[in-house]
Amino acid sequence: MRSSFRLLLLCGLQLCILVPIEANDFSSFLSANASLAVVVDHEYMTMHGQNIRAHFEKILSDIIRENLKNGGINVRYFSWNSVRLKKVDDNSVMVKSIVHESTTNHITPISLILYKINDSLKGQKKRSALRQALAQFAPPKHELKQQQFLVVSKFHDDIIEIAETLNMFHVGNQWMFFILEKVRRDFDAGTVTINLDEGANVAFALNKTLPDCQDTLNCTISEVSLALVTAISKMTVEEQSIYGEISDEEWESIRYTKQEKQAEILEYMKDYLKANSKCASCARWQIETAITWGKSQENRKFRAAPTRDAKNQNFEFINIGYWSPLLGFVCQELTFPHIDHHFRNITMDVVTVHNPPWQILTKDSHGVILEHKGIVMELLKELSRALNFSYYLHEASNWKDDYSITTSTSSNESDELAGSMTFRIPYRLVEMVQGNQFFMAAVAATVEDPDHKPFNYTLPISVQKYSFITRQPDEVSRIYLFTAPFTTETWACLVGIILLTAPMLYAINRLAPLQEMQIIGLSTVKSCFWYIFGALLQQGGMYLPRADSGRLVVGFWWIVVIVLVTTYCGNLVAFLTFPKFQPGVDYLSQLPRHKEISQYGLRNGTFFERYVQTTTRDDFKHYMARAQIYGNSQEENIEAVKQGHRINIDWRINLQLIVQQHFERDKECRFALGKESFVDEQIAMIVPSHSVPYLHLINSHIDRLFRMGFMERWHQMNLPSADKCTGKSSLRQVTNHKVNMDDMQGCFLVLLLGFMVAFAIGCGEFWYHHLYVHKTSRQPPSSVFTT
Ligand SMILES: *[C@@H]1O[C@H](CO)[C@@H](O)[C@H](O)[C@H]1NC(C)=O
Ligand SMILES: *[C@@H]1O[C@H](CO)[C@@H](O)[C@H](O)[C@H]1NC(C)=O
Ligand SMILES: *[C@@H]1O[C@H](CO)[C@@H](O)[C@H](O)[C@H]1NC(C)=O
Ligand SMILES: *[C@@H]1O[C@H](CO)[C@@H](O)[C@H](O)[C@H]1NC(C)=O
Ligand SMILES: *[C@@H]1O[C@H](CO)[C@@H](O)[C@H](O)[C@H]1NC(C)=O
Ligand SMILES: *[C@@H]1O[C@H](CO)[C@@H](O)[C@H](O)[C@H]1NC(C)=O
Ligand SMILES: *[C@@H]1O[C@H](CO)[C@@H](O)[C@H](O)[C@H]1NC(C)=O
Ligand SMILES: *[C@@H]1O[C@H](CO)[C@@H](O)[C@H](O)[C@H]1NC(C)=O
């Protein structure tokens, strides 16, 4: 439908295929004629000043007479003024209609900007005008916008050059150039893109219009008419052949609807025009698109030495099809194949080294890599899936081999340190990367001074921190465990109140006015002391004061005893359950306090060593000044750490590995890791300079993998996790609550209150005795004894 619309628009005529009037009863071309309405646009007709309608009538009737052997066709002509064909008047209307159509057809809304450059400008002025127009779309640094450019211009080479300087050719942008050149022979896509970097998405549309075209109205009219007549003939013949063989009922059920019939006719017309068109459809634009992603990789395989050539070897232009007004785009490949298919499943060379747990390579006896896994390899697999490339792994010798060449070759398996380091990249690998032979280096490498490296890093794929390992501190001796529940202050006060309460009890007892009120057992300070002390230890008191004042003192003392005993017992249980440890080294700055640690160790080849050169932290510098660098497990001297003489600094995950191994072997936890983790070491992959165009793409995928949680998962699978020992040593952090004066002050205050009340009552008793007893003592003493 669309293509016919285009066709008609082009010649300014409208053909309507009208099916016969009783539309629903229409059964076939066998029983009824097709109707054709020819509408001639009035405006177009007057513009051309010819009697188009008359020409049309003559041509069409000739064609029908000569070609329509089967079926029939009724033609009617209209040319009234009210008919206005849908026409695009100017650019703004076109933009509106495109944007409108994209929203109604559920296409992602686009914003479209049209630019026109005054084509009478010359030289420098032209270039500055172009630059001005393009600069608005230039990407800000470190940002990848996805823009599409459609350039219809004679100045394509200037535009390419200027856009290149503005960094507008990158993997996100799409450029389509319509080359308007009079002499099209001299256009060579390879030459104009000579300076472009790999990774650009460029396509050219070349004018392949045949010069010997008879582009007249008569020609178009007869061509279209012939197509229609042929189509109707064909359909009629088809219907005849089927109709003859089946019954009417069957025919009713299988025949086409109006809509289907219409589509069928158009399909036949298109086929006919595709094969026979000579008039309008000879306008033709051939599309050539650049196959470039990963091209330098492929080239390198086939070319030993670089050749001097006027072409950019990284761009291969392929003819993907054409556009013609009749058929629209006829392509056998996407116009920008890299946007959807990325690297189009080409095979890339990737270099790597064995470095568990980042890259784990399993090789057979011939050194052929059978299997690869580990954090970086998982990432590589995912990247190759997302970016549609296959890869071939090359192994660079790893740094231990480099190392062993320089030192005496005493590589002993059992001597190797556990865990990994990423700070040192093997020299051979750097060399290979610099040779630009590889798409990327799938190695975990510490990001260090990225601006002065001959290669680029990807986004960090991991961050590792350092920590230290020491002997786990011993438990505090339990000799003084029984004193642990109370603070010294509380103990002192306790002694104080015992010393205070005993004389108090004595005094109260002694001051009791009546002799028989006084208890013999409390008649000395010493016996009072033992009474109070005994009560505290729950030995009970044998005596009880008879006077109320005395009873109050004893009663309140018992309250104190209850509170004291309960808190003491409760806390004692807590101190027994959670052992207390001697202070260990939790932070590096505490190290000077621990004189027993005499050796400081640091693993060889750490980023920490480099970091300390620029740091301001004194504890790091102090450590570094004394540190012994160790490169094998003998020098690592983990036994000394176990004895408590040594502290080692390494990646936290490596230390966890040591703790884990020792736990598995000895079933005990003798090590403690520092509470502090320091120096964030960023780890990334390496991308050679010629792959930098794709760096942004790789980074955005890494970012996506982080967000989807894949990175975390791969870390969990490959790195040692928090082990069983960490659980126990974390108990060290539990600090039991000691009963202090804040808790006990109420208890002591109650006792004080008791004393005061007892004292007051005692005074009362004394006063009562003084008044009453002395009054009665003036009476005959006999009465005293009677009371
Ligand atoms: C178009 O065809 C008509 C009828 O055949 C003829 O009279 C007329 O001269 C033709 N016009 C051109 C420009 O050839
Ligand atoms: C159908 O068309 C043929 C020739 O095109 C004509 O002779 C015939 O009269 C037409 N029939 C009707 C019913 O219009
Ligand atoms: C195009 O440039 C020419 C020469 O500089 C100038 O005379 C003309 O006015 C410009 N046209 C437009 C539309 O700006
Ligand atoms: C395309 O080429 C044809 C034939 O060489 C020419 O007539 C026409 O003007 C060209 N079109 C454009 C837009 O350059
Ligand atoms: C990968 O590239 C090939 C070759 O162009 C293509 O056929 C395939 O569809 C692409 N796969 C994906 C997932 O894009
Ligand atoms: C991609 O390439 C690999 C190896 O060349 C091949 O095994 C695989 O089938 C290809 N995949 C597609 C989708 O073409
Ligand atoms: C490796 O070291 C262990 C312990 O130091 C020693 O017993 C063994 O003989 C050494 N093996 C080799 C091949 O040097
Ligand atoms: C790649 O590295 C070079 C120098 O090391 C730097 O100038 C450039 O900005 C880096 N490219 C990207 C995309 O980060």
For the stretch 117-162, pLDDT in tens is 787 888 888 889 889 888 888 877 767 778 888 888 888 888 899 9
Mean pLDDT across 689-714: 91
Q: Which two tokens stand for residue 660?
A: 């884990």
Q: Check: CB of residue 9 under 8 Å from CB of residue 48.
A: no
Q: What is the pLDDT of residue 21?
A: 40
- Candidate of 167, 447, 452, 692 to mutate for ligand 8, largest count of ligand atoms within 8 Å of Cβ: 692
Higher pLDDT, 97 or 771: 771
Higher pLDDT, 437 or 639: 639
**What's the gap between Cα 25 and its chain centre?**
63
For 417, 544, 588, 726, the CA distances from 466, given in Å and listed in that order, are 16, 69, 11, 16
SS3 content of the chain, % helix, strand, coil (to 5): 50, 15, 35
Mean pLDDT across 296-305: 63
The response to whether residue 577 sits with its C-beta less than 6 Å from ligand 7 reads no
467 phi, psi to nearest 5 deg: -150, -175
Query: Residue of the nearest CA to atom 9 in ligand 5?
Result: 341
Q: Rounded to the nearest 10 degrees, what angle do helices 525-536 and 548-577 cross at?
A: 40
Residue 512: name the closest of 558, 542, 557, 551 by CA: 551
d(CA 272, CA 261): 17
Residue 682 has pLDDT above 90, yes or no: yes
Classify burial at 53, counting beta carbons within 10 Å of its beta carbon; exposed 0-12, middle 13-18, buried 19 or more.
middle
d(CA 433, CA 440): 8
The response to whether residue 307 sits with its C-beta less than 6 Å from ligand 7 reads no
- Atom number, ligand 3, closest to the C-alpha of residue 118: 1
The response to whether residue 574 sits with its C-beta less than 6 Å from ligand 2 reads no
Residue 747 has pLDDT above 80, yes or no: no
Rounded percentage of the chain residues whose pLDDT exceeds 90: 16
Q: What is the pLDDT of residue 3?
A: 27
pLDDT (tens digit per residue) in 398-446: 555 554 444 444 455 567 788 888 888 888 888 888 887 889 999 999 9
Q: Check: CB of residue 290 under 8 Å from CB of residue 284.
A: no
Residue 176 has pLDDT above 50, yes or no: yes
- Most confidently modeled of 313-322, 626-635, 676-685? 676-685
Query: Residue of the nearest CA to atom 12 in ligand 4?
Result: 180
**What's the gap between Cα 667 and its chain centre?**
39
CATH 1.25.40.10 correct for 481-577: no
CA of 368 to the centre of ligand 5 (A): 28
Instruction: Return the minimum-mean-pLDDT range out of 341-345, 390-394, 399-403, 520-524.
Output: 399-403
Classify burial at 418, counting beta carbons within 10 Å of its beta carbon; exposed 0-12, middle 13-18, buried 19 or more.
middle
Residue 595 has pLDDT above 90, yes or no: no
Higher pLDDT, 298 or 202: 202
**Residue 381 pLDDT level (bands cut at 50, 70, 90):** very high
Mean pLDDT, all residues of the chain = 80
Count of residues in the chain: 787
Instruction: Return the minimum-mean-pLDDT range out of 304-313, 472-481, 567-576, 648-657.
Output: 304-313
- Candidate of 74, 229, 236 to mutate for ligand 2, largest count of ligand atoms within 8 Å of Cβ: 74
d(CA 138, CA 149): 12
pLDDT (tens digit per residue) in 524-582: 888 888 888 888 877 766 677 778 888 888 888 888 888 888 888 888 888 777 777 78
Residue 502 has pLDDT above 50, yes or no: yes
Mean pLDDT across 739-762: 78
pLDDT (tens digit per residue) in 61-114: 898 888 887 778 888 887 666 655 555 576 666 667 666 766 666 666 667 777
- Atom number, ligand 2, closest to the C-alpha of residue 64: 5
Q: What is the pLDDT of residue 20?
A: 41
CATH 3.90.1570 correct for 93-212+284-341: no
Query: Residue of the nearest CA to atom 3 in ligand 4?
Result: 209
pTM: 0.72
Nearest ligand for residue 48 CA: 1
Q: What is the pLDDT of residue 468?
A: 92
Tell me the one-letter amino acid at 65: R
65 HSE (CA, 13 A, CB side): 6
Residue 708 has pLDDT above 80, yes or no: yes
Residue 457 has pLDDT above 90, yes or no: yes
Mean pLDDT across 582-604: 88
Higher pLDDT, 16 or 690: 690
CA of 410 to the centre of ligand 7 (A): 9
The response to whether residue 117 sits with its C-beta less than 6 Å from ligand 3 reads no
Nearest ligand for residue 128 CA: 3
Where residue 466 falls (left for φ over 0; alpha for ψ -120 to 50; beta otherwise) is: beta
d(CA 149, CA 137): 10
CA of 415 to the centre of ligand 7 (A): 8
> Would you say the C-alpha torsion 687, 690, 691, 696 has a positive or negative sign?
positive
Rounded percentage of the chain residues whose pLDDT exceeds 70: 82
One-character DSSP codes across 675-720: S--EEEEEEEEEEEGGGGGGHHHHHHHHHHHHHTTHHHHHHHHHS-
